[in-house]
Structure 1
Amino acid sequence: MQTAPDPDQIVHEPSAEFVDSTNVSEFMREYGIADYDELIERTTTNLEGVDDSGVEWFWDTLPDYLDIDFYTEYDQVRDDSDGPQFSEWYPGGELNLAHNVVDRHAESDAEKRNTVACIWEGEPGDVREITYHELARQSNKVANYLESVGIDTGDTVGLYMPMVPEVISILYGCFKVGAIAVPIFSGFGVDATATRIEDSECSVLFTGDGFYRRGKPLTLKESADDAIDQAGHVEHTVVYDRLGDDVDIPWQERDEWFADAVETQDDAYDTKSLPSNQESMLLYSSGTTGKPKGIVHTHAGVQMQCAK
C-alpha cells in the first residue's frame, strides 16, 4: 500500500536569483519588508508606529505600484460599513480592465503599440503573433458587434471557444462594453455547458466549429447547439472557423460566422468608463461537490488580485 507523502517535505526550492527577480521581492524591497512573515503582517495589520502597514495602506498603495489607470479616482479604498464580508472596493472610482491591459498600450504614441502581446501556436504547428495595436482593433470590432446585437453593461456573454487568439479579443471586447464574460471550458460536455449557460442567462455565445487534439479534428458546434437547446437564453451564436473544410457542422438560424459577424465591424470603439465594482467575469467552480457556483470578478478587483 502506497503511503501518503510527507506534507512537510520540500519538493522544490527556487534559487536565490529567481526569488530576487520576482515581483513580490521587488515590492518588499521598495517598502523595506525583510521576509514573508513581515510581508503578511505589514499588509494585514495596522502596526503601531509604522505608517506603511495595514489593509487600507496595502490596497491603496497597489493601484499606484501597479500603475492602474483610473478614469475617475476613487473616494476611498473600501467601504465596509455593512461588514468586511460586504466590502465595496474603490467606491467612486471608474476604470476599465480593457483600457489598462490593452488600449493604453496600443495608443499611437505608446512604446508597446507594435510589441507582440500574444504568441500562439496551434497543435498542427501554425503560429500567430498579435501586437497590442492589432489586439485593440480586434477587441473594438468585438465590442461593436456586441452592441449591434443589443449587448449592454451588465449583460452576460458566453465563451465556449477553442484555444485560439480570438478568445483574447472576445474577452476584452466584452470588457469594453461592460458585458460580463462567462468563460466555459471547451472540454465540457453538453450538461456542464448547459448548466453555465442557464445560470448566467447569456444571450450571445461565442463558439467554434471545433479544435484539434492529438492531431485529430474534434467538433464543438454540436455540443454548443445541444447545450443551448437544453438551457435556452442564447439568441446569437458566433462560430469561429478553426477546422475549415475538415468537418461539416450543423447550422441554425441564430448562427453567424465570426468572420461575418465580427471582422466586418468598425475597428474603432470608445471603451466605457465603468464603476470599480462593475462585474467583468463570471467564473464557475468545477461542480465536483455540487452545482457549479458563479464567482464574480470586478474590473478593479481582478487587476489587483491577479497581480497580488
Structure 2
Amino acid sequence: MEPIWYPNPEEIQATRLFRFMEALGFRDYEAFYRYSVEELEDFYHQFFTHLGLPWRKPYERVIEGGFPLPRFFVGGRLNLVEAALRHDPSRLALLHETEDGQVRALSYGELQAEVARVAAGLKALGVERGDRVGLWLPMGLEAAVLLLATSWLGAIAIPIFSGYAAEAAAVRLKDAGAKLLVVQDGFLRRGRRVELLLEARKALALAETSDLLVVRRLGLPLEAGEVDYASLRGEPFPPEEMESMDPFMLIYTSGTTGRPKGTVHYHAGFPLKAALDLALLFDLREEDRLFWFTDLGWMMGPWAILGGLILGATVFLYDGAPDHPGPERLWRMVEAHRLTHLGLSPTLVRALIPFGEAPVRASDLSSLRVLGSTGEPWNLEPYLWFFRVVGEEKRPIVNYSGGTEISGGILGNVLLRPIKPMGFNTAVPGMAAAVLDEEGKPTQGRVGELAVLKPWPGMTKGFWQDEARYLDTYFGRFPGVWVHGDFALLDEEGHFFILGRSDDTLKVAGKRVGPAEVETAATRHPALKECAAIGVPHPVKGEAIVLFAVLKPGLTPSPALAEEVAEKVAEALGKPLRPEKVLFVPDLPKTRNAKVMRRVVRAAFLGQDPGDLSALENPEAVEAIRQAAGS
C-alpha cells in the first residue's frame, strides 16, 4: 500500500519533534528512533529536561529494573499539578461547551486558583493523601478541575464513565475502597436530561461509600449529608510533594471475564507519557487547541487534559452528542473555537458518513492542522472519507494505538514520514515495539503479536490489589516481554498495521484475517451503514465468519441482500473468507466513544457470558444479536 500523505520540508522543520531531534544532534528520524529505544534512559531524561518539568527533588535514575515491575524517575519528587499549571497565567487553559451551547473558559491562572480552592475543600471534607475519590462526571471544566485537585492533595482519582448505571459505578468504587464520590447531578444528551445523581445514590448504597459531593448542573435538590461543590471551602495549602511513583489515578478497564481491572497510574507516569506522545506525534504546541471526542472515564479523557496542559496548550472539552441538534455540530465547534487538533474514533467517523459531506463543507475548518484517531482498527473507506472530506487531502491523520495500561501509544504516526492509509509509520519514540511470531521472535511481513520489549515511563504500575492477574495478562505469553493483545503486521518499509485484538482476529482455514478487513469489504455494498465481523467455531475451517450488518435508513433486510453482502466480501478477500452468515440487526453494541464491542457480539451469538457490559451505551443491541442468532 502506498502512502496517502507526505510532509513537506518546511512543515518538517517546524515540528516539535524535528526541533527536539536537532537539539540532540539528529536530522534522520530512523537514527533518532533507534537512539530512543537503545538509550532509553538518556532519551527520556533529555525529553523531560527539554520540557522543563518542575521537580521538587531531581531523580537519580530514569529506569531501575526491567519487566515486569520496573521503577521510574527513582528518587524524584514532584506533583503532576505543578507540571500541568506552570504556564503563563493569562494563557487559555480550558474551553468547555455543553450540548445546549453554553461556553465557559479558564485561563491557567484561573484554573490554578480553582484547583487550589477545590483541593482545600476536599481536604476539609476529610480526603487525605492516598484516599480514593470517584469522579463521575461528563467532560467539562469541573471534571478537569477535580482530576487536578485530587492530585494536588495526593489523593487518587477514579474516573468513571458518565454513561454507567449504578451497579457498574459501584463495582469500581467498592474495589478501590473509595472514600468519596463526586458526581455531576446530570447533563443533557440529545436534548434529554440524564439525572446522574439518582444513579449515584444507588451506587453509594451498593459500594458502601457514604460521602457524596455534587456538581449541580441541572440544579437537582440535595439530600441530607450531600455537599454542594460550589460551597467547597478550606484552608489553602501548596500541592503535596509526591514520590515519582505515588499513584494519582486508577482507571478501570472492562475485561471479557471477571471483574474490571483497576490500572494504577502514578505522578511521573501517565501525564508525562501523554505529554510526550502529544508533542512528538501530534505536534501539539502552546498556541494549539486540542479536542478529542471522549469521556473522563476513558483513558483519552485524562490523557487529553493532562497531556495538553503539561504542554501549555488549550484543551477543549465537549459535553454532548456529536450530531445534536444536527450533523454539523462537530464541525461548527471546530470553526467557532478555532480548534487545531481533532481526535475521533473510526466508528464515530463511520456514523457521521451517512449525513454526507455537506455538514462538513458548511463549516470553516481552516484552523485544523492535525487529525487523530484511536480505539480500533480502521477500514479503508471511512479512513479515506476522513482524510479527503475532513482533512481536505492535506491534513495528516495521526493513527494512534496503545491503551489504558500504556498511558498512551505503542504505535503512531510522526509528521516527518509519509503516512499510509490505516497504518502507523513508526513505533512511538521510546517504545521498543516489535511484532512477534508464535515462538516469540521478531518478524516482518507476517502477522504476529504486538509486543514491547523494554519498559517505559507510563506503563501501569499493575492492577489494583491484583498483581497476579496483571502478570498473567501481559507477561504470561512470553517471559520478560509485554504482549499487548493485538495482532499486527510490520511491512517491509517499516509501517505497522493493527489487525485487531488477538481474541477478535479470525483464522479461517489457516488464513488469519482482521475483522476490519472483512468489514471494509462488506461496507462496499451501498446498503450497509456499518457491520461487525466475528469468528465462530467451524468443523472444517476451524473458524467461520459471521457478519452482523446495520442497514442504512429506509432499507429492508432480505436473504437476497445478505447474499449480495457476502459476495462483496468474497470478491475482495477470496471465496474462502466469504461469510457463512450475514445477519441484519438494528444496531451494534458500542461504548459511549463509539467503539464496537466485537467480543460482546461473539459471546451473544454463541450464547456465552459476554462479560462486563457496563461500558455499553446501548445494551439493548445485545438482545437483538441473540434474537438474530436464533432466527
Aligned to 1:253: 224
Summarize deviations over 1:170-192 as a string: whole Å, max 9, x none: 11111111001110011112222
- Match of 1:217, SS state, is strand
- Match of 2:134, SS state, is strand
2:67 to 69, 79, 84: 84
Are residues 1:243 and 2:236 paired?
A: no
Aligned to 1:278: 246
Amino acid at match of 1:13: W
User: 1:276 deviation in Å?
Assistant: 0.8
Are residues 1:38 and 2:38 paired?
A: no
Aligned to 1:299: 267
- Match of 1:147, SS state, is helix
Summarize deviations over 1:287-307 as a string: whole Å, max 9, x none: 355432111111111232112
Any conservation in 2 of the 1:241–1:257 contact (CA below 8 Å)? Answer: yes
Give the Cα–Cα distance (whole angstroms) in 2 for the partners of residues 18 and 201 of structure 1: 49
Any conservation in 2 of the 1:62–1:304 contact (CA below 8 Å)? Answer: no
Are residues 1:231 and 2:199 paired?
A: no
Aligned to 2:141: 165
- Match of 2:104, SS state, is strand
Summarize deviations over 1:113-139 as a string: whole Å, max 9, x none: 122211111111111111112111111
Change (3 A) 1:242 1:78: same
Give the Cα–Cα distance (whole angstroms) in 1 for the partners of residues 73 and 257 of structure 2: 33
Summarize deviations over 1:54-90 as a string: whole Å, max 9, x none: 112112212211111101111222221xx43221111
Equivalences for residues 257-268 of structure 1 within 5 A: 257-260=228-231, 262=232, 264-266=233-235, 268=236
- Match of 1:124, SS state, is coil
Equivalences for residues 47-196 of structure 1 within 5 A: 54-80=39-65, 83-102=66-85, 104-105=86-87, 112-196=88-172
Give the Cα–Cα distance (whole angstroms) in 1 for the partners of residues 155 and 254 of structure 2: 23
User: 1:18 deviation in Å?
Assistant: 5.0
Change (3 A) 1:79 1:144: same
Give the Cα–Cα distance (whole angstroms) in 1 for the partners of residues 258 and 12 of structure 2: 39
User: 1:269 deviation in Å?
Assistant: 2.4
Give the Cα–Cα distance (whole angstroms) in 2 for the partners of residues 231 and 9 of structure 1: 53
Moved more, 16-25 or 133-142: 16-25
- Of structures 1 and 2, the one scoring higher in RCO (CA 8 A, sep 6+) is 1
- Match of 1:205, SS state, is strand
- Match of 2:61, SS state, is coil
Give the Cα–Cα distance (whole angstroms) in 2 for the partners of residues 21 and 154 of structure 1: 42
Amino acid at match of 2:185: D
In our comparison, the structure showing a higher alpha carbon Rg is 2
Q: Which has the higher strand share?
A: 2
Any conservation in 1 of the 2:204–2:210 contact (CA below 8 Å)? Answer: no
Give the Cα–Cα distance (whole angstroms) in 1 for the partners of residues 59 and 78 of structure 2: 10
Any conservation in 2 of the 1:68–1:100 contact (CA below 8 Å)? Answer: yes
Aligned to 2:373: none
- Match of 2:174, SS state, is helix
Give the Cα–Cα distance (whole angstroms) in 2 for the partners of residues 133 and 156 of structure 1: 27
Summarize deviations over 1:213-233 as a string: whole Å, max 9, x none: 11222110111111221122x
Q: List gaps (5 residues or longer) in structure 2.
A: 277-631
Give the Cα–Cα distance (whole angstroms) in 1 for the partners of residues 60 and 121 of structure 2: 34
User: 1:29 deviation in Å?
Assistant: 2.6
Q: List gaps (5 residues or longer) in structure 1.
A: 1-7, 46-53, 106-111
Amino acid at match of 2:244: S
Report the RMSD for the aligned CA atoms in angstroms: 2.0
User: 1:14 deviation in Å?
Assistant: 5.5
Equivalences for residues 190-229 of structure 1 within 5 A: 190-229=166-205
Amino acid at match of 1:29: E
Provide the aligned length of Structure 1 versus Structure 2: 275
Give the Cα–Cα distance (whole angstroms) in 2 for the partners of residues 287 and 84 of structure 1: 23
Change (3 A) 1:19 1:231: farther
Aligned to 2:19: 26
Aligned to 1:48: none
Give the Cα–Cα distance (whole angstroms) in 1 for the partners of residues 261 and 28 of structure 2: 36
- Match of 1:39, SS state, is helix
- Match of 1:90, SS state, is strand
Give the Cα–Cα distance (whole angstroms) in 1 for the partners of residues 256 and 52 of structure 2: 38
* Percent of aligned pairs with the same amino acid: 32
Any conservation in 1 of the 2:213–2:226 contact (CA below 8 Å)? Answer: yes
Any conservation in 1 of the 2:183–2:197 contact (CA below 8 Å)? Answer: yes
Amino acid at match of 1:64: T
Any conservation in 2 of the 1:96–1:272 contact (CA below 8 Å)? Answer: yes
Amino acid at match of 1:254: G
Give the Cα–Cα distance (whole angstroms) in 1 for the partners of residues 237 and 40 of structure 2: 37
Give the Cα–Cα distance (whole angstroms) in 2 for the partners of residues 91 and 124 of structure 1: 47
Give the Cα–Cα distance (whole angstroms) in 2 for the partners of residues 23 and 188 of structure 1: 38
Scaled by the length of structure 1, the TM-score of the pair is 0.82
Any conservation in 2 of the 1:159–1:205 contact (CA below 8 Å)? Answer: yes
